[in-house]
Every structure is written in C-alpha cells, then in structure tokens.
Structure 1
C-alpha cells in the first residue's frame, strides 16, 4: 500500500521533531529529578488534656508532656518552647525558671516541653537528642511538629517561634537553629554546647538569631579561654559563637557590662534583623544564672533578646 502525501508529510515532521522532543524530555526528566518532594512531617498524635494547662501527646510512638502558659490575648502572639536539662521534665523546669511570669505579661505564649529517654541510655533519664552519641529520637522533627500544632491551635504568630533551653535542652537549641531555622527564628542556649555531629554538618549560611549564656567556670561547656576545649570532642563555645555570627552575616555592634559579673557582646545583621548575643558570666557555673549572684535578671535579658527580633 502506498503512503499518502499527507502521511508522508506527517512522517517527515515527526522525524524532524524527534531530536527536539528527545532533548525536551531529557531536560524535563532532569528537572523532575532535581526537584525532590518535601518530606512529610509526622504529626502529633493523641494530644489530650491531663489537667488545667497540662497536656500529653505522642510523636513517632514516643510520649511527651507539655505545659501551656498563654498571655491574656494569644492571637498572633509569639511562641517560646522551653527545653529542660537532662534528667528533668517540663514541670520541674517551669518551677525552676518561671519564665512565663516574665513573658506572659509581655504577650508571649510559653510552652514547657518534656523530652524522652533514649533507648540506648541505661539510666532512662529524660532528655533531648541534640546530636551527641547515637540517639535515635527524632526531637528536631518532634519540636517542629509541636510548634506547628501550637501555632494552629492557638492562632500564634508563625514568624515568631522561638526556643530556649538549659544544659541538654540548650544543646538541643543549637541543633534546632542548625536544622530547623525555617521554623525557629531565634533560640537561646543557657549553659549549652554544640555537639560534634551538628558542628561537622553545619551550613555556611543561616538566618536565625542566637543567644548564648555561658558561665566562665562552667565545666561542661568547652572553652578556649580556659583550655578545656583542648580535651573535648565538642567545639569551643568561642568558635561556635564566631560561627553563628559569621554564618548570619552579623557584625559586632556592642560590647557592654550588664552587671559587674557579666559581659555581653551583641552582633547584628541589620539588613536581615538578625541578632547574635554572647554573654559571659565571670563567676558563673553550669546553671541558669540567678540575679543575686550574677547581678542581672536572666529571664528579663532573654525577653529583651526576643523583643529585639521585631
């Protein structure tokens, strides 16, 4: 059977277009490979009221508790997640620091959160997987999911979600800043370190404000100033703070004494409204500084830092 003139024409057009279609398909395929789908963040499960403002939930089959302290008007309020130290819980941390008494009147929602025990920790103590050792708990994802749940549940301002922690909870704030800066725009580390795994995988650029409070006599936090960093697998706090400042494009603007016992350095990226604060307490140990010894109010200073994010 002879091919018609129209069929011959269509065949020639197809042959001419084949290379272009092939190239287009390859480019299209490459683009599809480059744009990987965003991982779906697991949600909180079994959120239930325990008593008053105390709640329980599960995430990744792990149980957590949290305490919600809201301001009089919670709509569009900023949120601060409070992370306890190793072996403690939300209730004991709240009793100890009482940050909500300072933050609630200023319009902040404050939520104290209980961590979980690590399956490989023989003590079964509650804590946070800040990147030290071989911990398996997905705490970065959990705290991100909790923040998003609270934002939606109480109509909070998603652009002003913060975290503050002490000791192991402060270690966790370093990890949140490194891995969840798109959720937590500012964090506070009181007596905290950056673990080796977070340091080794750090990014060159960040957009998260950071406030570190360190006691000069803290034997947990490695420092270049006293030589303890030489014997630690974790980076010196001075190097960590230099990293937070540099990666955020922040430059030193202020160095001042907040008391006779404490010197505060403020770094700022004015274009992006990013703050990096570094406070050294001269005679401070591994503690949440108390005003009668340090000469300054820790909670008020933390709130001042958060207020600087506006």
Structure 2
C-alpha cells in the first residue's frame, strides 16, 4: 500500500466520499504501521524476542519483552498488547512505547500476532480460537517466567481494543483489567459477555473517529458493528456495580490541533474495580500521545495532552485480582 502515499490527499478525500470500498482498505490499515517505515519495522528493539507456541496443533506466534532486571524471585505483572486489524505484533512496541515503560516499571510485555490479520473479537472477522490462544500463552509464560497471576492485563487499539473487551468477557478469571483504545464493544459480543468476576475497564475513544464511531454503528462501514461508548460504559457500570456518578474532569490542555480530553472515573466497584473513560474531543482513530501514523484526513487527529501508554499502565498498576 506504499504507492498510496504518492497520490494527493484530495484523491483520498474524493475516494472516501465516492467509494465505500475505501473503507475496507482503511479498516485493514494497522494503527502504528506507517507504510513509509515498513522496511525498518522488524528492528525496533533487539530485546524483543520472537516466540512460537502450539495451540491445538496450530502454530501461533508473539513478541516478548522481558526486562533484564527480571528474576525468578520476584513475580512480575504481564501486559498483553494487541495490534489493530491488518496489523502485526512487530508494529506495537514502537507504536506504544510499552517496552520502555516495562523496563522502568518492571513488567513483562507480550505482543501476540493474529492468525489472519484480525482478532476474533465477536464480529466474525476470524475463525481462529484467539481466546484459546491467549489462555495457552498465559499458561506458557507462567511456566517460563515468574508471572504474578493476580496482575495480568490486556490492551489494544481498534480490533485489538475490541478483542481486549472479549478477553474481559471470556478470561475474567485471569485478566484483572483491560484498556481499549479506539474501540468500544462489538455489538455481537454484548449478549454473550458474562464475565466470571469483576474486571476493571478503561476506554479511550475519539469523538471524531471515522472508523469506530463513538455513537456506535458500522465499523469502517463493512466490519460489523460496535455499540456506542455510552452503552459500553453502562454495560460495565452494571457488571462491576461501580458508582453511577463519575469523578469528572477536563485534562490540562496543551495540544494545538483542536483536540482535548475529558475524563470520567467511576469508582467503588465490586472487588475494588473501577471504570475509567477518556473521551478525546476531536480525536480520531489514533493512540493518544502517539504518532500520526496516517494523514488526519483519513484516520483523524492524535491528541497529545496525555500519553495513552503511561495512563494505561498507571491504571493497570492500581488493579489486581484479589
């Protein structure tokens, strides 16, 4: 898709207006993969190890970062980071910066790879048993490293954010908290979501996301449907039985691109859970604090009033399974 970059921006705008098929192409663009940088994508961090495991006879792969300070004597948290639709594991360390945070804060990061470019988040995008894959992966990492079973977390963007929601539904016995960026909940997932225990949840959603609409509807026009952010919030408020009245605040505004951030914190949930919602006013299908991986006319704007990665880890560090 690198040849797309040679075309004028106005060409893309016309295609968006005139051709629904462009939505398919945009839906396949992985947040974090700038086509002009693909030749450098595999060498971002030499400390990331490429691993394979077998899941019911099928080979699955992932990248793994383990801080050099890790020892068998001290159990470390585990963070699972999921790429977006059409993406790959190797995009995510550079895109999120979680390796550097893990190095300084002391936790293990796994970046799983989907089997066909998409996670089975409930929208029938993939026939793979991705929940089974993650269950096996967690068990493998527990065997190989000193992982704290009470501090296992999941995050992702877009399709990876939707899949994190599915893990909160299907692996609540192991996942203590999830954070979804540029994703609410897949519409088909909601009636099937019966978490075994309370799970702390964070959402980061842009009001001007052109692919995953904050009011819900068709995802990129062709990739199933998502519920609105408000409905997703109500779902987790009811499940975790948090306070219905949030601690609301607007973050200090430093960004000059017209975006801003509003935060709602719903606390006092069952077993210490909380729901935190960051609404990125004017924000797009992007990772706050990250790079503008595609033109804003295509995916929307990036807000830099906060670092999503730092905020997500700070949120996770407050929560563990009892």
Shift of 1:194: 1.5
Is the 2:162–2:186 contact (alpha carbons within 8 Å) kept by the matching residues of 1? yes
| Residue 169 of structure 1 pairs with residue 160 of structure 2 | yes
- 1:26-75: per-residue Cα shift (whole Å, max 9, x none)? xxxxxxxxxxxxxxxxxxxxxxxxx9622122323333221221231253
2:62 maps to 66
- CA 1:168–1:228: 2 relative to 1, 3 Å: closer
| DSSP-derived class of the 1:78 partner | strand
1:203 is matched with 194
Q: Within 1, Cα distance between the matches of 2:195 and 2:79?
A: 26
Alignment of 1:36-185 (within 5 A): 53-71=49-67, 72-74=69-71, 75-117=74-116, 126-133=117-124, 135-185=126-176
Q: Given the alignment, which residue of 217, 228, 232 partners 1:240?
A: 232
2:313 is the counterpart of 1:303: yes
Question: Any stretches of 5+ residues in structure 1 without a counterpart?
Answer: 1-50, 118-125
Alignment deviations for residues 226-252 of structure 1 (CA, whole Å, 9 cap, x no partner): x858x9843212101111122101114
Query: Residues 219, 76 of structure 1: CA spacing in aligned structure 2 closer, same or farther, 3 A cutoff?
Result: same
Q: Is the 8 A contact 1:140 1:179 kept in 2?
A: yes
Q: Which runs of 4+ in 1 moved over 6 A?
A: none
> CA–CA distance in 2 between the matches of 1:97 and 1:278?
19
* Distance in 2 between residues matched to 1:263 and 1:192, nearest whole Å: 17
**Residues 109 and 219 of structure 1: CA distance in aligned 2, closer, same or farther (over 3 Å):** same
How many residues were matched structurally?
Answer: 251
Q: Distance in 2 between matches of 1:209 and 1:239?
A: 16
What is the TM-score of this pair, normalised by structure 1? 0.74
| CA–CA separation in structure 2 for the residues paired with 1:107 and 1:163 | 16
Structure with max Cα Rg: 1
Give me the TM-score of the superposition, normalised by structure 2.
0.72
Contact preservation (8 Å) 1:128, 1:172 = yes
In structure 2, relative to structure 1, the CA distance for the partners of 1:259 and 1:206 (3 Å cut) is farther
Give CA deviations for 1:167-188 in whole Å, capped at 9, x if unaligned. Answer: 1111100100011100111111
Q: Secondary structure of the equivalent of 1:269?
A: coil
Is 1:258 the counterpart of 2:251? The answer is: yes
Question: Any stretches of 5+ residues in structure 2 without a counterpart?
Answer: 1-46, 254-259, 291-301
Question: 1:129-165 deviations in whole A, cap 9, x for unaligned?
Answer: 1110263211111111111211221011011111111
C-alpha RMSD of the superposition: 2.5
CA pair 205-180 structure 1, distance change in 2 beyond 3 A: closer
Corresponding residue for 2:285? 286
Structure 1 pair 108/202, CA: closer, same or farther in 2 (3 Å)? Answer: same
Native 8 Å contact 1:217 1:282 kept in 2: yes
Say if 1:270 and 1:246 are closer, same or farther in 2 by CA, change over 3 A. Answer: closer
Distance (Å, rounded) in 2 between the aligned partners of 1:309 and 1:52: 26
Return the structure number with greater relative CO, CA threshold 8 A, min gap 6: 2
